[in-house]
Each structure stands twice: as C-alpha cells, then as structure tokens.
Amino acid sequence: MRAQQPEKIARVGWITAQQATSLTPYVDAFRGALAELGLIEGRNLVIVLRYGNDAIDRVPQLTAELTQIPVDIIVAQGAAVSVISTLRPSIPVVYVFSGDPVSAGFATSLAEPKGNMTGLSFMAPDLNGKRLEMLHEIIPELSRVAVVANPEHPGEHLERSYSEKTAKRLGIAIEYFPTRTQVELTSALNAMAPRPPQAISLFADGFAIQNRQRIIDFGITHRAPVISGWPVLPEAAPSAPMGLALAPATVGWPTTWIASSRVPNPQTSRSSSRRNLSLLSISRPPRHWDSRSHPPY
C-alpha cells in the first residue's frame, strides 16, 4: 500500500505600501475567496503579508523578503505595484491597481500584459463622463464643476478627457485642480473657497481616498456635492447633518457615490427619506482582464 503524499502547501505573498488596518476587510475577502477555491490557511495555504505602513520606499525590501522565502506568487496592491514593476522579481506577480496599467507601463494593452505581471484595474475612465451626467440630472442648473485629481495617477489623463468631453456637451465649465500632495490639496481647497463650485468630481486614487475626509468636509461646508468612483467615499460622512445625501449609483465596477447636500427634495425621497439616501442605478459591464483576456474573478 502506497503512503499518501502530503498535500502541497501554496505560499502566497501579499505586498502593499499601505497600513494593515486600512486593508483588513480586503485581506479577509481575499482569504475567503481562496477558501472557496479549496485553499485554506493552516491546511494547504500560507499567506505571507508585508505592509509598507505608508512608506513606499520600503517596497523593494519587502519584495526581496517575499522572494527569499520564497513564495509561489506575489499579490501586489496599490502604489506598490509601480515599484514592483521596476524591480522585475522572478516570482509571478498578480496585481490589483486603481490606475490604467497601459499608461503605467505594466501592459501593452488590456489583453497583453508585460513580463510576469498580470492583474486587474479598477479604472473605467469613461464612467467619469457618466458621473457628470448624473450630477446634471440631480442639479439641472449645474454649470461649474471642480475636478480634483492626482495627475501622477496612471490614466488620470483619460479620466480628465472623458470628463471634459461630457462637460462640453452639457454646457458645464470644468475647473481642474491637480493634487499630488497635501500642500497642493490645501491650495486647491483654498482656491475654491471664495467661489465654491456647484459640485466636485473626485478622481479616485490612493491619495484622494486617504484625504477623502477633508474633501467631504469641504463639500458639506460649501454645499457642494462630491462624486467619485469608490464606495469608501460615503464612509467619510456617516453622521452628516440633515440635507446631506449619499447617492450610490451602481455602474458595474467601480461604484459611483455622491456625497451631496443639494439633492432636490431629500425629505420626499422614496429611496430612504429618513436617512436622505437617493439611489440611482445604471447597468454597465465591469472592465477586467488577465493574461488571456478573461476576467480573473
């Protein structure tokens, strides 16, 4: 009788420049998805987590640690992906990235990744135009929108292009505020304050999400709706005063959220008048890709 062979243990490395606490629900979801595939920690799976704690310059060291263990595959998230792409580790890399992988240089096209890196992007730049259309429906008199964006985020120029094309068609003037740093964000908000925009379109990236509270607070103070593409946005205003509406609009992936104090007749909203929630729904297939042009999830 042949002895039963021990089950192979898969070693997966997870690397990010962010803090552990900011990613807890995502790591939990990752574990859950692997368990559904039959990979369970303590039995046939080891997940090695490496966090940069908001220090991007730690990513090379953390990548080297995972390579030396070694893990079978590296899962990279956020800003760490750009750094890892320059390191070219020998271990295959699967990434989750908020920007455009083609603009970032990770792929020749969405169907043709480079080297041993593949993954998915949350960016759908054409949806920025759709978000302006939604704002225009909510505020028919809308004529001035401030775009707050990080020009260093790969693909930002695509998001801006779609926004400007839609704004021109709708007769909306776009005021563009590049915000790469805290200093630039402060300057942008100070520049807006004397004559606040009627609404703010916030292009989602790591910097914007980390500073969402400041931007939401500015919108509440100046009664300017803030619209963006990630559902984490309304968490910045969970106990907003009466008149603030959080309007989720499902548009494939990512989800569009509006934090607004200008939604017409919030007291009579049939969606949830007591909490001032107004729901809009627009169907659209999500954008995703992998090395074989099939969705990884």
CA atoms lying within 13 Å on the CB side of residue 266: 18
pLDDT at position 278 = 30
Q: Which CATH class is domain 127-281?
A: alpha beta
Q: Do domains 10-97 and 127-281 have the same CATH topology?
A: yes
Selected residue with higher pLDDT from 244 and 94 = 94
The mean of the pLDDT values for the chain is: 79
Residue with tokens 């803090």: 19
Nearest to 263 by CA among 244, 288, 241: 244
CATH homologous superfamily, domain 10-97:
Response regulator (3.40.50.2300)
Percent helix, strand and coil across the chain, each rounded to 5? 35, 25, 40
**Does the bond joining 70 to the residue before it have cis omega, within 30 degrees of 0?**
yes
pLDDT on residue 246: 36
What pTM was estimated for this model as a whole?
0.71
Q: What Å distances lie between residue 234 and 110, 127, 186, 253, 284, CA to CA? A: 30, 18, 21, 16, 22
Which residue type does 21 have? T
Cα-Cα-Cα-Cα dihedral of 191, 194, 195, 201, to 10°?
40
Q: Which of 195, 100, 182, 217 is nearest to 146 (CA)?
A: 195
Place of tokens 């995703």: 288
For 196-224, how does the pLDDT look when each residue is reduced to its tens digit (9 = 90+)? 999 999 998 888 888 888 999 999 899 99
Name residues whose C-beta falls within 8 Å of residue 178's C-beta, 6 or more positions apart in sequence. 149, 150, 151, 184, 188
Which residues have CB under 8 Å from 18's CB, separation 6+?
51, 52, 53, 54, 77, 78, 79, 206
Hey, where are the domains in the chain? 10-97, 127-281
pLDDT at 285: 29
Q: Which range (3-7, 127-131, 166-170, 193-197) has the least confidence?
A: 3-7
Tens-digit pLDDT profile for residues 171-186: 999 999 999 999 999 9
